[in-house]
Amino acid sequence: MKVLIIGSGGREHTLLKACLESPLVTEVIAAPGNGGMAAEASCLPLDVADIPATVALAQAEKVDFVIVGPEVPLSLGVVDALEAVGIPAYGPNKAAAQLEASKTFTKDFLLRHSIPTAMGKRITDINDAIDYLKDHAYPVVLKADGLAAGKGVIISPDFEHAQQVAYDMLIKNTFGKSGHEILIEEFMDGEEASITLMVSGRDYVMLPPSQDHKRIGEGDTGPNTGGMGAYAPAAVVTPEVYQKTIDEIVEPTLAGLEADGITFRGTLYIGIMIVKGQPKVVEFNVRFGDPETQVLLPLLQDDPIKLMLDCAKGQLKPSEVKLKDAYAMVIVGAAQGYPDSYEKGKAICFPDTLEPDTAIIHAGTKRLEDGTIVTSGGRVLGITGIGATLREAADKAYALCGKVHFEGMQIRRDIGHRQLARE
């Protein structure tokens, strides 16, 4: 079958590589893609927020299956639009995508279905926000309701800071329409992990738990980023926490969606905070994480494209899906200055060959007419390693990092440090 991948990040390059390895796929194209994807497949221009243009492209290219990477087109109903013209797509419909598109929708959903999460209040008026914050314990978390490219969550240490954040969101329009309604919730002090499900209604496959590192600096210091690296499986999700997550979060979430008349087919990413052994929901995403995808898909023993197609068609058979007994790690190579301002157009040097169980995933790259790959984003590359232990995966990934270069490249050298310290 011919597959179209929507998106341009490291997640989408990982999905494209999975397509190239799948016996089901005869041809794969991407829109808009990136430099690494363009070196491996045809990439076509596309504004992923333009749903009619996406449908027209899928029809013009006569694709058999569409895999949607980013959250914006999902929130705008691209899956609904594709299915309306007879093209199956992997990803939730618009109703289900509200789990990521609206934090207040999600908070109401969690509380209504008694799913463990932080207590919170939705607010649209600045005076109401200030009154609520005056009596709140600190630190406190303030969230813009809508999609904000991963930047709409701010932890405030005290009332003065929280008041300014609320003012910036509600009055100064910092996050545009996404911040016209905000969620103020209690701060959960624990360790985060990511739970990723491939879902088809009430049936699901739970991929290995993972953990990413958001902070730019080693030791988890400095400003937040889109993710500087990730690894899986994450031991912080103990067998006890794993079972609690299934019993108290996963199953009630899928049952709650069904009870609300919402059929979920696609990826459900659950960010959890583990507080004294109790997992609680921090957020839902309705697509694969980036960079988590880079470490999860390689740990599937089965063809991920077949699983996505089965999910989209309501034919998933979880009992038949097998995972590898292995570990994976991805190290993000970021541009100098990221997550603040950074330069683009830096030429990237790659090794001539790759060692087994390693990969270079492109995110913020561009391919020039002469074939040169240059930087075009903040998070430029994802450098991955797979091994029998986390240490082996880390050694492979960092060894490969030493063979990749572009001017100003910055990496964290302590991805997985907590778990590695316990090995």
Among 334, 331, 303, smallest CA distance to 390 is for: 331
For residue 89, what pLDDT is reported?
98
What tokens does 37 get?
A: 């994807």
Helix (H) or strand (E) holding 356: none
Please give the distance of CA 297 from its chain centroid, rounded to a whole number. 13
Q: In 3D, which of 340, 144, 141 has the Cα closest to residue 224?
A: 340
pLDDT at 91: 98
Q: What is the DSSP letter of 300?
A: B
Query: Do residues 29 and 4 touch, judged by C-beta distance below 8 A?
Result: yes
158/149 Cα distance (integer angstroms): 25
Could you tell me where the beta strands, DSSP code E, fall in 207-296?
A: 211-212, 215-217, 221-224, 229-232, 265-275, 278-285
DSSP 299: G
Residue pair 51/68 in contact by the 8 Å Cβ criterion? no
Separation between Cα atoms, residue 80 and residue 95, nearest integer Å: 9
The 3-class SS string of 75-141 reads HCCHHHHHHHCCCCEECCCHHHHHHHHCHHHHHHHHHHCCCCECCEEEECCHHHHHHHHHCCCCCEE
Name the residue among 30, 65, 36 with its Cα closest to residue 48: 30
Position 286 scores a pLDDT of 98
Can you list the domains of the chain with their CATH numbers? 2-94 (3.40.50.20), 125-180 (3.30.1490.20)
- Beta-bridged to residue 67, according to DSSP, are 5, 90
Residue 144: the pLDDT is 86
As averages over each run of 10 residues, the pLDDT of the chain (423 residues) reads 98 98 98 97 98 98 98 97 98 97 90 90 88 88 76 85 90 77 87 96 97 94 92 97 98 98 97 95 95 97 97 95 97 97 97 97 96 97 98 98 97 96 84
Q: Identify the pLDDT of residue 147.
A: 75
The angle that helices 94-101 and 103-112 make with each other, rounded to 10 degrees, is 100
